[in-house]
A and B are shown apart, each in its own frame.
Chain A
Amino acid sequence: MTSIAGHPGIAGRIAEAGANYLSERRGILSWVFTLDHKRIGVMYLVSILFSFLLGGVFALLVRTELLTPRRTIMDADTYNQMFTLHGVVMIFLFIIPGIPAALGNFVLPIMLGARDVAFPRLNLFSYYLYVLGAVFAVLAIATGGVDTGWTFYVPYSTTTNTSVTAVVLGAFILGFSSIFTGINFIVTIHKLRPPGMTWFRMPLFLWALYATAIIQVLATPVLGITLLLLVAERLLRVGIFDPALGGDPVLFQHFFWFYSHPAVYIMILPAMGVMSELVSTFSHKPIFGYRFVALSSVAIAMISFLVWGHHMFTSGQSPLASMIFSFLTFMVAIPSAIKVFNWVATMYRGAIDLKTPMLYALWFLFLFGIGGLTGLFLGALAVDVHVHDTYFVVAHFHYTMFGGVAMAFVGGLHYWWPKITGRMYSELWGRLAALLVFVGFNLTFFTQFVLGTHGMPRRYYNYPAHFTSYHQHSTLGAYLTAAGFFLTAGYLIHSLFRGRRAPANPWGGATLEWQCSSPPPAHNFDRPPPVGDPYDMSRIRYDDAIGGYVTAEVAEPAGAGGGPGR
């Protein structure tokens, strides 16, 4: 296995400059019918960024309405639709597909050393299902909106006269998109690893995507069936959940959370994978505790199926069930903690380069740290009863989902941006925007912890006057965060036209995608690339002439990097 250790590792780089996956074929049809995982990844990326914008606009409308008690800019029904759409769009159209379908699609085969995913046609089909699901969601907005919250709790959702059916069918279709992507990734990782790419030589991002794909395939069908039953109850008046028809509303909550709790790990696991790549690359040092980080992803994936009842401590479920769910919930905290400690340890005695992606990795540590630790309050039964369904929960899941997943997504976007587009963005503006996002985020959501512990229930249009100043601080923070993201959009778009040409390896990463040119050639690798330790950076040197890193030709003893994989 060490026979390739001294290989220069440029086998994947193609000879002629300019012929890459973007320029190889032109015309709109070359995109519409493309089977190239990189182009599908880019199409996902554009769609997902648009969804993020849409969900963000809804968020700003919600926060603006909450500037004052009672009416500020909209009536109660409109407000209820706004927070529902914010949740539905952000969760189903942005966070769940964000990292796996956009960044994962682009990076996974290259990181693995493969030419494409196992089923390229299925991959394209997943994308169009995503678009179709998004169309249904937009249709729901156009035909009267939805006001159930993203949780669709019955019997409210079966009795309200808004377009629940359209949005639920949209979520159903998006579920299939998610399942197909999951299947594709599982098969790709099992079957398309090139010679030398053993399980424990896979980059941690791939471990994370693999664990995510397993949850997607196992949990999403449950959501699909649940949503179909909901539609059947609405349209055909079949009594499943609505007690007026002989159903049980708490059953719906069990079904819903049986998917939706694992789903939060569908969201966070890929983000953790991105974190492992960012922290290692920008510390120029192998990840600490590779096997623990890799296997903790699998542990999280398994335990995540057994904790759904912690959303229902006040639903009237039996106290015994609540106790068991509480205990299992605490167990899932342990692998998450292991990951965090290993990331921090990776920085120890590194050579830390505070580029924009690394700033987002630091934000992740800070924000996900708060998000994870506030989960301890929610897992503890007696405390959860007090803060359940208050702004404390809202703040908690925004710290994990926005402060965790979205920060890792933006960090990963900046990390792989040169690889995807072949252009470098402005580092100065990147850091400035990152700072703005960080300050704005904390102003927005830290105040919500205090609102929550003082008893402010979530999904409230009107609120007692003594909460006003907290809400106003939170709204101000939301505007700052939005400004940071608009700035980000500005310099990223600018870089497409004016950005410096990206070198193959601008950051000093050791995983295989940095051995391809930027952007990569259409077929990634002309022959299977030499596979070594994904975090062995001992032979990676900075080259002033090309403004990026190169892999030194000099063969060194395999033990120099002290990395995993042996």
Chain B
Amino acid sequence: MATATGTGLLAQGGPTFWMPPQGSTGASAVDWAFYLIYYIAVFFFLVIVGLTAIFVVRYRGRRGARPEGAPSSHLAVELTWTLIPTVVVIVIFTVGLGGFMDISFAPLNAYEIQVVGQKWKWFFQYPNGYVDSDLHVPEGRPVRLVLSSQDVVHNLYIPAFRVKMDAVPGRYTKMWFHATRPGEYDLYCAEYCGTGHSDMVARAVVHPAGQFEKWLESAGNWVEAVPPAEAGRILTVGRPDGSGGRGCTQCHRVDGQAHIGPPLNGLFGHEVTLADGTRVVADENYLRESLIDPQAKIVAGYQAVMPTYKGRLKEREITAIIEYLKSIAGPREPARGAQ
């Protein structure tokens, strides 16, 4: 089955049997190294398995058969099959090293994006302060990502760019790439991080040359361009294509069902019971505090696992989210004893 590959179709950067489409300059270098090693590996595999098969067929002996007698050691042969693999692995090491140098050191003029990983969502912050849950990059320009983590080790992986780097709490790591083909690519978390690990996915959107700046300007201002409740809805649950959300629905549902956190609909203006048994009304200040200092009041029956959104949401965005929660608050009970 190792031979049924349809390989060698490296041209045009399309997908092959072994590799996904190429979306960056580094991808073709990695694929070249991959296929070089692949053909070396196939060659040695065929030698080993081929000789084994030939010997098994040729020298298959019935019970009690005697071997034909062959030397049981031969120094020249041993040295040959020690030296050849040594040369081969040094060649492979060198090839892997060359590609690694290219992906380890970013050009000085690279466009820088700050990335924060947090269970179980990525945050990409652009130079103008705008934060998006998807990675947007320009075509034809080197991009450098500076990664960190709010909680545990994550890993940002874009298969089409052949790049991957851990996001480690307490330190910064860096990666870079040079996207060559406009389009949308998968972006994964590749370091196990718990319940929602496999949902910690995003899109890497490569904008055609010249259009990235336009996108960034409009994206940075979109909250002001729509009514607050609508902006809040997008921040909370995202647009239909998944963009714009801030990860709330990784843990909260808006259909009344409990998830990792309590549901968000039917919440505003209603009483909630906290873990210590006290009851409070979910008003504007309660919701604001729940975003800025989520550990302050834990709803009974849930774990204190929500990270803070302090500094991650602008005031305008917090207001928008509260307006959205008001719009899905449902029939209002008489708010007894509020304040």
Enumerate chain A interface residues (CB-CB to B < 8 A).
Answer: 76-77, 80, 147-149, 153-156, 159-161, 243-244, 248-250, 283-292, 314-316, 319, 322-323, 326-327, 330-331, 333-334, 337-338, 340-342, 344-345, 347-354, 362, 365-366, 369-370, 373-374, 376-377, 379-386, 388-390, 442, 446, 450, 453-455, 457-464, 535, 537, 541-542, 549, 561-564
User: For residue A390, which residues in chain B have a CB less than 8 angstroms away from its CB?
Assistant: 157, 190
Stretch with Cβ within 8 A of A (4 or more), from B88-96, B208-216, B326-334: B88-96
A127 to B194, CA, bound (A): 34
Contact call B64/A155, Cβ cutoff below 8 A: no
Residue B85 at the A interface, CB < 8 A?
yes
- A155-B169, A381-B96, A462-B198 given. 12 additional CB < 8 A pairs? A243-B171, A292-B78, A319-B104, A373-B45, A377-B34, A377-B41, A380-B33, A382-B29, A382-B162, A454-B20, A464-B201, A562-B72
User: For residue A289, which residues in chain B have a CB less than 8 angstroms away from its CB?
Assistant: 72-74, 77-78
Contact call A370/B2, Cβ cutoff below 8 A: yes
User: For residue A350, which residues in chain B have a CB less than 8 angstroms away from its CB?
Assistant: 55, 59, 61, 67-68, 70
Q: Which of A76, A384, A454 has the most CB of B within 10 A?
A: A454
Contact call B99/A564, Cβ cutoff below 8 A: no
Contact call B170/A243, Cβ cutoff below 8 A: yes
Contact call B18/A450, Cβ cutoff below 8 A: yes
A347-B52, A362-B56, A381-B99 as given contacts; A455 in contact with B70, CB under 8 Å = no
Contact call B37/A385, Cβ cutoff below 8 A: no
Contact call B173/A316, Cβ cutoff below 8 A: yes
Residues from 69 to 107 in B contacting A, C-beta threshold 8 Å: 69-74, 77-78, 81-82, 85-86, 89-90, 92-93, 95-105
Q: A289 CB to closest chain B CB, in angstroms?
A: 5
Residue B251 at the A interface, CB < 8 A?
no
Select from chain A the residue with minimum beta-carbon distance to B162.
Answer: A386
Stretch with Cβ within 8 A of A (4 or more), from B132-140, B147-155, B220-228: B147-155
Contact call B195/A370, Cβ cutoff below 8 A: no
Contact call B33/A383, Cβ cutoff below 8 A: yes
A381 to B33, CA, bound (A): 10
Contact call B72/A369, Cβ cutoff below 8 A: no
A283-B59, A349-B68 as given contacts; A331 in contact with B89, CB under 8 Å = yes
Residue B189 at the A interface, CB < 8 A?
yes
Question: Which of A316, A341, A382 is B103 in contact with, Cβ under 8 Å?
Answer: A382
Select from chain A the residue with minimum beta-carbon distance to B48.
Answer: A369
Q: Which of A156, A244, A383 has the most CB of B within 10 A?
A: A383
A319-B100, A327-B93, A338-B82 as given contacts; A349 in contact with B20, CB under 8 Å = no
A-B contact count (CB 8 A): 288
Q: B31 CB to closest chain A CB, in angstroms?
A: 9
Question: Which of B19, B85, B159 is A334 in contact with, Cβ under 8 Å?
Answer: B85
Residue B292 at the A interface, CB < 8 A?
no
The 15 listed contacts between A and B (C-beta, < 8 Å) are A159-B152, A248-B170, A289-B74, A319-B104, A330-B90, A340-B48, A341-B48, A373-B41, A376-B41, A382-B102, A442-B1, A453-B18, A455-B186, A457-B189, A464-B201
Contact call A455/B20, Cβ cutoff below 8 A: yes
Contact call B92/A379, Cβ cutoff below 8 A: yes
Contact call A160/B194, Cβ cutoff below 8 A: yes
Contact call B151/A351, Cβ cutoff below 8 A: no
Contact call B92/A385, Cβ cutoff below 8 A: no
User: For residue B173, which residues in chain A have a CB less than 8 angstroms away from its CB?
Assistant: 316
A159-B151, A389-B190 as given contacts; A453 in contact with B92, CB under 8 Å = no
Contact call A459/B20, Cβ cutoff below 8 A: no
Residue B30 at the A interface, CB < 8 A?
yes
Residue B297 at the A interface, CB < 8 A?
no
Contact call A462/B199, Cβ cutoff below 8 A: yes
Residue B242 at the A interface, CB < 8 A?
no
Contact call B165/A316, Cβ cutoff below 8 A: yes
Contact call B164/A314, Cβ cutoff below 8 A: yes
Contact call A463/B198, Cβ cutoff below 8 A: yes
User: For residue A564, which residues in chain B have a CB less than 8 angstroms away from its CB?
Assistant: 72-73
A314-B164, A383-B34 as given contacts; A284 in contact with B198, CB under 8 Å = no
A153 to B178, CA, bound (A): 31
Q: A371 CB to closest chain B CB, in angstroms?
A: 11
User: For residue B96, which residues in chain A have a CB less than 8 angstroms away from its CB?
Assistant: 326, 379-384
Select from chain B the residue with minimum beta-carbon distance to A453.
Answer: B18
A143 to B74, CA, bound (A): 58
A561 to B69, CA, bound (A): 8
Q: Mark B235-260, 1 if CB is under 8 A from A, else 0.
A: 00000000000000000000000000
* Shortest beta-carbon contacts, A-B, top 3: A382-B99, A455-B159, A243-B170
Q: B66 CB to closest chain A CB, in angstroms?
A: 6
Q: Mark B7-42, 1 if CB is under 8 A from A, else 0.
A: 000000001011110000010011001100110110
Contact call A156/B192, Cβ cutoff below 8 A: yes
Question: Which of A337, A352, A369, A453 is B55 in contact with, Cβ under 8 Å?
Answer: A352
Q: B221 CB to closest chain A CB, in angstroms?
A: 32
User: For residue B336, which residues in chain A have a CB less than 8 angstroms away from its CB?
Assistant: none
A542-B63, A564-B72 as given contacts; A330 in contact with B99, CB under 8 Å = no
User: For residue B189, which residues in chain A have a CB less than 8 angstroms away from its CB?
Assistant: 457
A513 to B173, CA, bound (A): 56
User: For residue B82, which residues in chain A have a CB less than 8 angstroms away from its CB?
Assistant: 292, 334, 338
Contact call A453/B56, Cβ cutoff below 8 A: no
Contact call B67/A326, Cβ cutoff below 8 A: no
Contact call A352/B197, Cβ cutoff below 8 A: no
A327 to B86, CA, bound (A): 11
User: For residue A563, which residues in chain B have a CB less than 8 angstroms away from its CB?
Assistant: 72
Select from chain A the residue with minimum beta-carbon distance to B100.
Answer: A381
User: For residue A283, which residues in chain B have a CB less than 8 angstroms away from its CB?
Assistant: 59, 67
Contact call B1/A334, Cβ cutoff below 8 A: no
Contact call B1/A446, Cβ cutoff below 8 A: yes
User: For residue A154, which residues in chain B have a CB less than 8 angstroms away from its CB?
Assistant: 153
Question: Which of B2, B55, B155 is A344 in contact with, Cβ under 8 Å?
Answer: B55
Q: B313 CB to closest chain A CB, in angstroms?
A: 22
User: For residue B275, which residues in chain A have a CB less than 8 angstroms away from its CB?
Assistant: none
Residue B183 at the A interface, CB < 8 A?
no
User: For residue A330, which residues in chain B have a CB less than 8 angstroms away from its CB?
Assistant: 89-90, 92-93
